[in-house]
Amino acid sequence: MPIIEGNFRRDGLGTIVTLNMRLVWPVVPFWIAIMLFLAWSSLAVDSRVAGPFGARILLLGMTLFIYLVATVPFAIEVRIAMKRLLSVLCPGPARSGLPV
């Protein structure tokens, strides 16, 4: 679930809403540490984790998988949150902010 922070600012007759969405803080260091460990293990010359070339490619694939496991669900949750926020903040159809 994204953490949503933002503010409202008056702009003439309308309001500008600025949002910032991020991951929960304890998840980020853990996620980065796993990715760095896997990437370093696949690239280090004297790695005990990955010896042959195939094992190194597997570790790089695991690094990519761990990256996607965190980013894809986060992007999906951001889309869901944005749709809900737009339905709450805009009583009518969503507008682009451009004059017609």
Residue 13 lies in a domain: no
According to the model, what pLDDT value does residue 91 have? 65
pTM exceeds 0.85: no
Residue 100 lies in a domain: no
Residue 5 lies in a domain: no
Residues of the chain under the 50 pLDDT cut: 98-100
Residue 4 lies in a domain: no
Which tens digits make up the pLDDT trace of 6-21? 888 888 887 788 888 8
CB 81 within 8 A of CB 2: yes
According to the model, what pLDDT value does residue 96 have? 55
Residue 3 lies in a domain: no
CB 21 within 8 A of CB 78: yes
Residue 58 burial by Cβ neighbours in a 10 Å radius (0-12, 13-18, 19+): middle
Residue 81 lies in a domain: yes
Residue 99 lies in a domain: no
According to the model, what pLDDT value does residue 100 have? 42
Q: Domain range holding 66?
A: 24-89
Residue 60 lies in a domain: yes
Alpha-carbon distance 41 to 45, whole Å?
A: 9
According to the model, what pLDDT value does residue 60 have? 80
Count of domains observed in the chain: 1
According to the model, what pLDDT value does residue 95 have? 55
